[in-house]
């Protein structure tokens, strides 16, 4: 059946400023792919990420290049031969899932023969800054069960101590975004262990993390920028304890589910994360996150406002998507 493609670029203001060690931003620039067969439509959202060589323009061009194949009936399984993993494939893959569900008057969970979805507890994020500012932000989240804290600069041990003291009842993930070095990783990891941190995410640059196989892990270490596709997971053994699955990295829900299954077989813990986007981007990830050890799907909470209808957040609890949103 012929499918028509529409591509839209949207910019969603962030509530304040979102900062990691690489820089700050005040808006989420996203691309929405809508596929229509004449009677039904399916949508998928992606967030181009400069760290992976992506831009709004490049992602739009990659999706546009699929117009002919989609018109001729390209399928999810066929996408892997047409486009590499990344944000563009994510948007198209998720739109195809949504379209199939709408056509069948069913749900993606039914198509996948999954149990009914349950609510999840997501992390909330503290942006990178000086120790005092980060402690104040953590104090405002002190009633939340899980906090993710952005570090990756000089004096991170001080930041770690400050946020842990500000939110003593919360479980805390430290995300260095590749910002540590061989020279300071042991000091920072020991600071994390002393502060009771539950997970350290991507402490060293991808491709420059060999030391992780040689030093103790007093706190489990999670691969993010080092973890992209299923076929590369075996290369992370011995260096990482967990992996962060993001649909904008895997290239959609199809590969994310495959990656999840293989990661469990290899003994990795699983985090399901996100870029900063709207509920449309989070919705498919909710399916992958159903048995995750850590869930980090607070993208909509970072925005000034979310799309409507969106996911329902009650504190740190996020409910499964309704069909009007996706799936």
Tens of pLDDT, residues 34-89: 999 989 999 999 999 999 999 999 999 999 999 999 999 999 999 999 999 999 99
Counting beta carbons within 10 angstroms of the beta carbon of residue 99, is it exposed (0 to 12), middle (13 to 18) or buried (19 or more)?
buried
Say if residue 299 is exposed, middle or buried (CB neighbours under 10 Å; 0-12, 13-18, 19+). buried
Give the closest residue to 252 by CA, choosing from 226, 227, 280, 284: 284
Query: Catalytic site residues?
Result: 150, 246
Give the number of other Cβ atoms within 10 Å of residue 115's Cβ: 8
The rounded percent of the chain whose pLDDT value lies above 90 is 95
Q: Extract the tokens encoding 72.
A: 């001729």
Dihedral of the alpha carbons of 254, 256, 258, 264, in degrees to the nearest 10: -160
Partner residues linked to 269 by β-bridges: 242
- Tell whether the model's pLDDT for residue 1 goes beyond 70: no
- What does the alpha-carbon distance between residue 119 and residue 321 come to, in Å, rounded to a whole number? 10
Q: Which residue has the tokens 């799936």?
A: 327
Q: Evaluate if residue 16 carries a pLDDT over 90.
A: no
pLDDT tens track for 141-157: 999 999 999 999 999 99
Task: Name the CATH code of domain 120-318 (choices 2.60.40.1730, 3.30.300.130, 3.30.470.20, 3.20.20.120).
Answer: 3.20.20.120
Say if residues 53 and 62 touch (Cβ distance below 8 Å): no
Domain boundaries along the sequence of the chain: 4-106, 120-318
| CA 116 – CA 111 distance, rounded (Å) | 12
Report the C-alpha dihedral over residues 49, 86, 84, 107, rounded to 10 degrees. Answer: -160
pLDDT for the residue numbered 22: 79
The tens digit of pLDDT for each residue in 101-137 reads 999 999 999 999 999 999 999 999 999 999 999 999 9
pTM greater than the 0.85 cutoff: yes
CATH number of the domain at 4-106, out of 3.30.390.10, 3.40.50.300, 3.40.50.10490, 3.20.20.480? 3.30.390.10
Q: Supply the mean pLDDT for the chain.
A: 96
Position 21 pLDDT exceeds 80: no
């Amino acid at each position: 059946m012929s499918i028509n493609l529409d591509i839209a670029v949207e910019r969603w203001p962030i509530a304040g400023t979102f900062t990691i060690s690489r820089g700050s931003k005040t808006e989420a620039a996203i691309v929405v792919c809508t596929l229509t067969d004449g009677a039904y439509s399916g949508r998928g959202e992606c967030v181009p990420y400069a760290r992976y060589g992506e831009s709004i323009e490049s992602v739009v061009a990659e999706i546009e290049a699929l117009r002919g194949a989609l018109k001729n009936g390209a399928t999810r399984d066929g996408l892997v031969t047409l486009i590499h993993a990344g944000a563009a494939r994510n948007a198209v893959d998720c739109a195809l899932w949504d379209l199939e569900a709408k056509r069948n008057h069913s749900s993606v969970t039914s198509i996948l023969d999954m149990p009914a979805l349950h609510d999840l507890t997501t992390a909330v994020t503290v942006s990178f800054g000086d120790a005092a500012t980060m402690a104040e932000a953590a104090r405002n989240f002190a009633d939340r069960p899980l906090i993710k804290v952005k570090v990756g600069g000089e004096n991170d041990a001080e930041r770690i101590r400050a946020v842990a003291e500000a939110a003593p009842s919360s479980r805390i993930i430290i995300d260095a975004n590749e910002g540590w070095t061989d020279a300071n990783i042991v000091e920072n990891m020991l600071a994390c262990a002393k502060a009771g941190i539950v997970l350290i995410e991507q402490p060293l640059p991808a491709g420059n993390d060999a030391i992780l196989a040689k030093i103790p892990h007093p706190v489990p270490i999670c691969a993010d920028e080092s973890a992209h596709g299923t076929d590369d997971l075996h290369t992370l053994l011995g260096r990482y304890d967990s992996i962060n699955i993001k649909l904008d990295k895997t290239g959609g829900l199809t590969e994310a589910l495959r990656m999840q299954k293989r990661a469990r077989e290899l003994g990795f813990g699983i985090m399901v994360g996100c870029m900063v986007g709207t509920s449309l981007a989070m919705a498919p990830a909710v399916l992958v996150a159903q048995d995750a050890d850590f869930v980090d799907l607070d993208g909509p909470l970072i925005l000034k406002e979310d799309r409507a209808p969106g996911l329902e957040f009650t504190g740190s609890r996020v409910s499964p998507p309704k069909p009007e949103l996706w799936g």
